């Protein structure tokens, strides 16, 4: 889909039923249809570091620009704009909240940000320093849930900014991706511990060790029929965890392809962005 050095990273389904992919090293956004038509859109800075991407409430795609500390927006016809953040926080995860705004993490300043579709920004400071908030998702309880990579914890923030933190039982778990499952729990990957975890809205935690504890699970997405798909960045695999914790794994055909973002496409297949310049499609 791109030059091997471009670095496909985040991936999401747009309102146009296409796959939208960030090219983190090239400063570009790629649009891919399920019949493999591909378009690439340049951003205003090739070094801006577009990272994660999500469908917004306004019919556009919103994404974080990690290296130049901006929140980006791209319409389905390829018109891109961005909003600078008041602090150089390294925005990373982004999701649409239950209030119709975009919520995002700021890894370097321990803040959660909120931006409306007309560009109004709010920032909420987290109580833990050096926690490195990473991925974020909307929960079933009208709150936002996020991973605290260096605090080895899961965070929850209400729409008015009230924060709760749930420490993980495994040392150096380093959670990254998080997704809201259809079972009402939040599911997350522990890249440092080689585990999948889940937490209910009332704070009950469960851990599921992966067969290869060194596989470096990175991103996770809910499966509409239950369970979650996830990437094993360090082991070149895509995995599936059932609601009861049963694990199924699939090797990717290209060695060392470095799978990052993952999503379920409009065709029901699983799509993952590979940093080697490809996108993989897995038919369940």
Q: What is the CATH number of the domain that holds 223?
A: 2.130.10.10
The pLDDT score that the predictor gives to residue 4 is: 82
The pLDDT score that the predictor gives to residue 15 is: 97
Q: Is residue 2 included in any domain, yes or no? A: no
- Give per-residue pLDDT as tens, 137-190: 999 999 999 999 999 999 999 999 999 999 999 999 999 999 999 999 999 999
Tell me which residues are annotated as active site: 260
Residue numbers of the domain that contains 51: 8-282
Q: Is 152 annotated as a binding residue?
A: no
Q: Is residue 162 included in any domain, yes or no? A: yes
The pLDDT score that the predictor gives to residue 3 is: 82
Q: Is residue 1 included in any domain, yes or no? A: no
Q: Is residue 33 included in any domain, yes or no? A: yes
Cα–Cα–Cα angle for 30, 259, 270, nearest 5°?
Answer: 75
Q: How many distinct structural domains can be found in the chain?
A: 1
Q: Is residue 171 included in any domain, yes or no? A: yes
Q: Is 275 annotated as a binding residue?
A: yes
The pLDDT score that the predictor gives to residue 284 is: 79
The answer to pTM > 0.85 is yes
Q: With left for phi above 0 and alpha for psi between -120 and 50, is residue 204 left, alpha or beta?
A: beta
The pLDDT score that the predictor gives to residue 2 is: 76
CA distance 272 to 168: 27
Q: Which has the closest alpha carbon to 22: 70, 89, 86, 88?
A: 70
Q: Three-class SS of residue 138? A: strand
Q: Is residue 73 included in any domain, yes or no? A: yes
- Mean pLDDT per block of 10 residues along the chain (284 residues) reads 88 98 97 95 97 97 98 98 94 98 97 94 96 98 98 98 97 97 97 98 96 97 97 97 96 96 97 96 91
The pLDDT score that the predictor gives to residue 227 is: 97
Q: Is 248 annotated as a binding residue?
A: no
What percentage of the chain's residues is helix, strand, coil (to nearest 5)? 0, 50, 50
């Amino acid at each position: 889909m791109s030059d091997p050095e471009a670095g496909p990273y985040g991936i999401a389904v747009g309102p146009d039923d296409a796959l939208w992919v960030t090219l983190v090293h090239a400063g570009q956004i790629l649009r891919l249809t399920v019949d493999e038509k591909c378009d690439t859109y340049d951003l205003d800075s090739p070094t801006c570091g577009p990272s994660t991407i999500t469908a917004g409430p306004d019919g556009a795609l919103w994404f974080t620009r990690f290296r130049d500390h901006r929140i980006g927006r791209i319409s389905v016809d390829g018109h891109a704009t961005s909003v600078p953040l008041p602090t150089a926080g390294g925005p990373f995860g982004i999701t649409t909240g239950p209030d119709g705004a975009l919520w995002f993490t700021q890894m370097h300043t321990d803040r959660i940000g909120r931006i409306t579709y007309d560009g109004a920004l709010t920032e909420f400071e987290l109580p833990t320093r050096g926690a490195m908030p990473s991925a974020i998702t909307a929960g079933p309880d009208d709150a936002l849930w996020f991973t605290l990579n260096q605090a080895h914890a899961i965070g929850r923030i209400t729409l008015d900014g009230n924060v709760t933190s749930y420490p993980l039982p495994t040392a150096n778990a380093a959670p990254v991706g998080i997704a809201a499952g259809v079972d009402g729990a939040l599911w997350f990957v522990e890249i440092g511990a080689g585990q999948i975890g889940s937490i209910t809205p009332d704070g009950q935690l469960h851990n599921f060790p992966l067969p290869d504890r060194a596989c470096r699970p990175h991103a996770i997405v809910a499966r509409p029929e239950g369970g979650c798909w996830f990437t094993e960045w360090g082991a070149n695999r895509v995995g599936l965890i059932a609601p009861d914790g049963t694990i199924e794994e699939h090797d990717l055909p290209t060695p060392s392809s470095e799978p990052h973002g993952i999503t379920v496409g409009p065709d029901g297949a699983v799509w993952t962005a590979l940093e080697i310049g490809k996108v993989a499609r897995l038919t369940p």
